[in-house]
């Protein structure tokens, strides 16, 4: 069981960068396709950035 102090010392999941090549392997789409569809020009994103980009994409396609 982790204490509150241990949780505060641990970097948040949003602080770790996500490599688009690794992400593309995980989801099964080419990295270039993901970057083109999500309008991403970076090779690494934080989980918070990726979440925002994906939600923006979903919002734009649902209209």
pLDDT in tens, 28-53: 999 999 999 999 999 999 999 999 99
Distances from the Cα of 36 to the Cα of 12, 20, 30, 44, 53, angstroms: 27, 12, 10, 14, 12
CA distance 12 to 30: 27
| Residue pointed to by tokens 């010392």 | 9
Residue 57 near residue 38, CB atoms below 8 Å:
yes
Given a cut of 50, is residue 63 above it in pLDDT? yes
- Residue 10 is predicted with a pLDDT of 47
- Residue 7 is predicted with a pLDDT of 45
Q: Give the angle subtended at the CA of 33 by the CAs of 29 and 37, to the nearest 5°.
A: 115
């Amino acid at each position: 069981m982790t204490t509150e102090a241990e949780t505060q010392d641990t970097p948040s999941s949003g602080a770790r960068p996500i490599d688009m090549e690794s992400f593309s392997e995980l989801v099964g789409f080419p990295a270039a396709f993901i970057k083109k569809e999500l309008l991403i020009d970076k090779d690494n994103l934080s989980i918070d950035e990726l979440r925002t980009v994906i939600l923006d994409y979903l919002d734009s396609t649902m209209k």
